[in-house]
Amino acid sequence: MGIISLGCARNLVDSEVLLGSLKESGFDIKELESGVDVGIVNTCAFIQSARDESVDIILQAAQLKKEGKIKRLIVCGCLPQLYKEKMLKELPEVDLILGTSDIPKIKDSIAGLARLNNQNPAVSADLGYLYDERSPRYLLTPRHYAYVKVSEGCSNHCSYCIISRLRGLFRSRSIDSIINEIKKLSTPGALREINLIGQDTTLFGMDRYGKPILQELLKRICEIKSSVRWVRLLYTHPAHYTDELISAIHAEEKVCKYIDLPIQHISDKILKKMNRHTTKNDIIKLLKKLRKHIPGLALRTSVIVGFPGETDHDFKELLDFVSETKFERLGAFIYSKEDGTEASGFKPEVLEKVKKERFDELMKLQQRIASKVNESFLNKTMLVLIDEKVQTEENEYLGRTEYDAPEADGTVHVTGKDLKVGEFYKVKITDTMEYDLVGRHSRHTR
């Protein structure tokens, strides 16, 4: 049994639950290329580039099947949820397709594959699945950090987004379920970092408890006696912050002073067309409040360039805002027209050439900002979590500060002797790069 997991961390958790279920049933987990009875591709379909990548990987897996390295090929996740009929018609090499809510079917479906000669579609129209602490997981991350999904789906209905079609409407897990899962993940004693994820983590609890209660979840997590030292908050929404949540982020020592806060744009005209439920003034006030009440905070955001109707003036407004705000971390996306979304019918469309030019200009600006941010750390001693050893160098390791999320932000290139992956060290920063830091180990700390 082998899997290729594409897309975001939310998708990665689905892959881990799939593998956990299969391992519990006696399957061995191996690399696809080494030869497996069943190969799984868990796809992403959020934007066109993600769909293109998913199709490319499926075709590569299909080639492995032709070569006899994979006996049965399963494709699951967002792409089948979106294109069930098309996949059945155009990908005859695939033996089974499963949607985003079909994880519980995986064991029975694989058992049935031995009796099947043709494709067996099993894509549910009912998007209500929500894993819990009883769901076994086979971690695909290093042992020292893990992602925990606190909710599934989304009800924000941003005009450009297809998540509700892929994942259903917003639904929260219970606090007890999340706490029990973290305790379970922490049992071996190797876990150092928990990354909380969901399509909109700030809305956690609204559907189940009648109000957002992410702050209560954070407090409960921080009370767990475990080896976890960092609790990181990802995928928050600017329209759903409360004073109680801000206070909890500030007060709880284990909560990283790092917030992932996608704003998507700053022009009121564009924000309204995006259906973001917030305004420029709201965002400015929130950012000021966050930085005032959480000293040393690192803010990560994401923005979209080239949204329909975005004029040169709108883009300059975004550019000026990024220049003034100086986000410590920023990612940008070029707008992708998604069939079935409200925005797909918006006019006028921005030329692809213009989109690319705006994207490049924005990222060059952020590169300069990130470089300046990194320079502020020069000669300072920082707490670094070691992620991996550099194989080509005897005493070089890669790690992260609390201001860097796994797979998303920069790294710290650490020189040190006999450092252990998954442990924290004091590191003096001796040099800086545009996005990364360079340092040497000072002393070990627990």
Fold for domain 145-375?
pyruvate-formate lyase- activating enzyme (3.80.30)
Cα–Cα distance, 321 to 272 (Å, whole number): 17
pLDDT of residue 14: 96
Architecture of domain 2-122: 3-Layer(aba) Sandwich (3.40)
pLDDT < 50 stretches in the chain: 115-118, 445-446
**Residue 220: its pLDDT value, please?**
98
pLDDT at 34: 79
Q: Sheet holding 36-43: strands in order across?
A: 2-5, 36-43, 70-77, 96-98, 120-122
Per DSSP, what are the bridge partners of residue 39?
2, 73
What pLDDT, on the 0 to 100 scale, is given for residue 446? 44
Distance in angstroms (rounded) separating the CA atoms of residues 34 and 248: 47
pLDDT of residue 120: 55
pLDDT score for 445: 46
* pLDDT single digits (tens) 214-273: 999 999 999 999 999 999 999 999 999 999 999 999 999 999 999 999 999 999 999 999
Task: List the beta strands (DSSP E) in 292-357.
Answer: 298-305, 329-334
DSSP 339: T
Q: Take residue 432 and report the two structure tokens written for it.
A: 């800086």
Over the stretch 162-210, which tens digit does the pLDDT of each residue have? Answer: 999 999 999 999 999 999 999 999 988 899 999 999 999 999 999 999 9
Under 8 Å between Cβ of 274 and 159: yes
Domain ranges for the chain, please list them: 2-122, 145-375, 381-444
CATH for 381-444, options being 1.10.260.40, 3.30.70.1520, 1.10.4030.10, 2.40.50.140: 2.40.50.140
Distance CA 95, CA 78 (A): 17
Mean pLDDT of the chain: 93
Q: For the chain, how far is it from start to end, CA to CA, in angstroms?
A: 37
Separation of alpha carbons 147 and 197, rounded Å: 7
